[in-house]
Amino acid sequence: MKVHKRGRSRRRVLALLLAGVLAVSGASVLAAAAFAGQRPWRSQPAAAQTGTVACGDVGASLASVPEAAQADVDQDLADLDVQVADAYRTLSEPGSGGGEQNVMGALAEKRSTTLRKLAANAGADSGLPKDLSGLANCSIRRDLVVDASARDYAPSDQSGTADRNKGSGGGRSALGRGFVDIRSVSPNVVKPARTGPATGTFTSRCGRNENRHLNPDNVIVAPGVSNGAHHMHDYVGNLVTSAFSANGKLAAAGTTCSNGDQSAYYWPVLRLLDGANESDFKAPGGGKDRNVGRILQPAEAGITYSSPTGTKVQPMKRFLRIITGDAKALTNGPANAHASWSCTGFEDRQLADKYPVCPGGSRVVRTLTFPDCWDGKNIDSANHRSHTAFSDARGGCPKNFRAIAQLVERVTYEVPSGVRFAVDSFPEQLHNPITDHGDFVNVMNQNLLEQVASCVNEGRRCG
């Protein structure tokens, strides 16, 4: 019996809730304002207390899952996400029935039932505690206040994330405290020294989603589940990527990539909050999940592989799945937050928990950096993370892991001056920029897999 295993450094869920960086920025309340029934792009006449629903990320506490049970476990985890989203939606809509205590009590009951089912499916070695009550109970986090007079949404003094963007100069923007003028941020990027010979790059030119391949699925984390992401994804590469795309279907599909790379590359869409709505404003993944505004098509979407330190890399395995960032970093904390925000011309200054305000002629930049170490065997794992890892500053991988080419997705946008924007997210994650993330399913054929490694190792620029 094959078992998907996690590393021994797994985090305790309750500790995550207490110790994480809760980067509840001004932009976060674009969704959180719903607690007061507010429309997120408009100033309100009076201040109101806001909050979000915080639950333990059950997937983070899983140690292993039998391969035969993985689909059932993924469904159970998706059901838990639906329950949290539904509870948040109920609390967000005045007159929808039930006070906070009733809503949270009902949520705990539903989670208890699903957790028992999950524990049975995952088996005795799952790593779930015998007493599931600690995972079943959720809380309302009140880390925001609304300052309507300033047309701003500000984090409370208890929010522990102000130091994450050192050198920001507190650059308060007219768009709100969730935004910072990139010119007020001091350079903060330290690139690792390239001491090895692997200085090449491989680029897949896959367009910028001109065909508007969009859906709220996630074939890695929630396969077989419609709207498993609760937010809309942009896709480039493989033309059929959805929750229902098995490996064979991906392998038989066409691609937007000019070199025949059939891999699936995807990330949450960015929306312009200018008062206009996208066609999905009443649909799952869109307005039904508190994602409103017009979807911005990327101006560019760069797909590049390299070795950050020059360490020689080995070819990946076809159908290898890699995720970066954490869609639940608001409540989980920043341990897996590997996405950053900047502006063209200022990319030596990166932000994690704030959105950048770019000067005229400069584009908003999202950089999604993926793990560059792999266990050499598994194309996935129980928590969809532990089969990959990031190398250290010298390019070293964890024991029994091997170096692979590091994927970096660099996505840019033309954002009109003076207009707010926000990344799509799970409803209760409040559109916080720290929740940005990317996903990748490698569907390259063997020739391309070997070409990526050889181009990087031989110092060539390919693509």
pLDDT greater than 70 at residue 14: no
Residue 432 · residue 353 · CB < 8 Å: yes
What share of the chain in percent tops pLDDT 90? 67
Greatest mean pLDDT among 60-64, 176-180, 395-399: 395-399
The overall average pLDDT reported for the chain is 84
Q: What b/e sequence results for 56-70 when a residue is b if at least 16 CB atoms lie within 10 Å of its CB, and e otherwise?
A: bbbbbbbbbbbeebb
Q: How far apart are CA 375 and CA 4, in angstroms?
A: 12
Residue among 14, 48, 17, 15 at smallest CA distance from 34: 48
Q: Up-side HSE of residue 331: CA atoms within 13 Å toward CB?
A: 26
pLDDT greater than 50 at residue 15: no
pLDDT greater than 50 at residue 44: no
More confident residue, 348 or 128: 348
Q: What is the pLDDT of residues 308-335, one digit of tens each?
A: 999 999 999 999 999 999 999 998 989 9
pLDDT greater than 80 at residue 222: yes
pLDDT greater than 80 at residue 422: yes
Would you state the pLDDT for residue 50? 58
Token pair in block for residue 313: 């890399």
pLDDT greater than 80 at residue 243: yes
Burial of residue 14 (CB within 10 Å: 0-12, 13-18, 19+) is middle
Would you state the pLDDT for residue 301? 98
pLDDT greater than 90 at residue 38: no
Would you state the pLDDT for residue 32? 42
Would you state the pLDDT for residue 98? 59
pLDDT greater than 90 at residue 264: yes
Residue with tokens 């925001």: 144
pLDDT band at 419 (very low <50, low <70, confident <90, very high): very high
Q: How far apart are CA 460 and CA 448, in angstroms?
A: 14
pLDDT band at 438 (very low <50, low <70, confident <90, very high): very high
Span 289-314, average pLDDT: 97
More confident residue, 4 or 78: 78
Would you state the pLDDT for residue 192? 86
pLDDT band at 350 (very low <50, low <70, confident <90, very high): very high
Would you state the pLDDT for residue 95? 65
Would you state the pLDDT for residue 42? 37
pLDDT greater than 80 at residue 358: yes
More confident residue, 13 or 189: 189
Would you state the pLDDT for residue 96? 56
- 3-state DSSP of the chain: CCEEECCCCCCCHHHHHHHCCCCCCHHHHHHHHHHHCCCCCCCCCCCCEEEEEECCCHHHHCCEEEHHHHHHHHHHHHHHHHHHHHHHHHHHCCCCCCCHHHHHHHHHHHHHHHHHHHHHHHCCCCCCCCCCHHHHCCEEEEEEEEEHHHCEEEECCCCCCHHHHCCCCCCEECCEEEEEEHHHCCCCCCCCCCCCCCCCEEEECCCCCCCCCEECCCCCCCCCCCCCCCCCEEEEEECCCCCCCCHHHHHCCCECCCCCCCCEEEEECEEEECCCCCCCCCCCCCHHHCCCCEEECCCEEEEEEECCCCCCCCCCCCCCEEEEECCCHHHHCHHHCCEEEEECCCCCCCECCCEEECCCCCCEEEEEECCCEECCCCCCCCCCCCCEECCCCCCCCCCCCEECCEEEEEEEECCCCCCEEEECCCHHHCCCHHHCEEEEECCCCHHHHHHHHHHHHCCCEEC
